[in-house]
Amino acid sequence: MKKAIIFLLTGAVMLVTLCLLPFTAFAAEAESVSIPVEIEGGGTAEIISEVNCPLPKESSLEVQDGATENINISFSVPGDYEYTIQAEAKDGLYYSPEYYTATVAVRADNSGKLTSTVILTKAGSNYKLDRCRFVIAEKQSDESEANAVTQPAGTAQTPKNPPTSRPQTGDDSMLDIYLLICIAAAGGLFMLAVIYSVSTERLIKR
């Protein structure tokens, strides 16, 4: 009887350990994604993330005129993630009023290795792009000023049609579901051990 109980409890511990192994694999090999940004005239690009999306180290990126800089983001859990990239508005300057949407799909193969696909589009278009490109220039005439969209210094432009939030696969939600399954399985094995023990004792008494 004692051997049977020990066997079932050992099985429960092994099951919980196996359930936690995928998380160890995901955390060990993160997938990195780079989003190229160009700003004609030089300036600052801002990145806004949806809920449960991993963030880059910096929420803004300085880009010199004629240069290309990358927004680098690291992912450790499979899921679909969405980001908005826009130019920072500054007083006395014209800037590109459009914004870009970067959709990152992160997937894991059977060994736990992560791969990613990035789809970058400009607002109002489904055409896939290879980089974000903005134009920053000084004001030159009243006519240009009337046609430009500017905002006070220190404020960021609000997209006309900001992307709506949608359900994302985040670290916390996946971990909670996995742990609940493990706990339920371990609890079931424990109950079987108790039932087996009680049944065995009754048979012995008879």
Q: What is the pLDDT of residues 70-107, one digit of tens each?
A: 999 999 999 999 999 999 877 777 777 789 999 999 99
Q: What is the pTM of this model?
A: 0.56
Contact status, residue 154 vs residue 161, Cβ threshold 8 Å: no
Predicted confidence (pLDDT) per residue in 42-58, tens digit? 999 999 998 889 999 88
Q: Is 87 exposed, middle or buried (0-12, 13-18, 19+ CB in 10 A)?
A: buried
Residues 11-50 as b or e (16 or more Cβ within 10 Å = b): bbeebbeebeeebeebeeeebebebebbbebebbbbbbbb
* pLDDT value, residue 165: 47
Distance of CA 185 to the CA centre of its chain: 29
Over residues 170-195, mean pLDDT: 69
Residue 168 has pLDDT above 50, yes or no: no
Residue 62 CA to residue 45 CA, distance in Å, equals 7
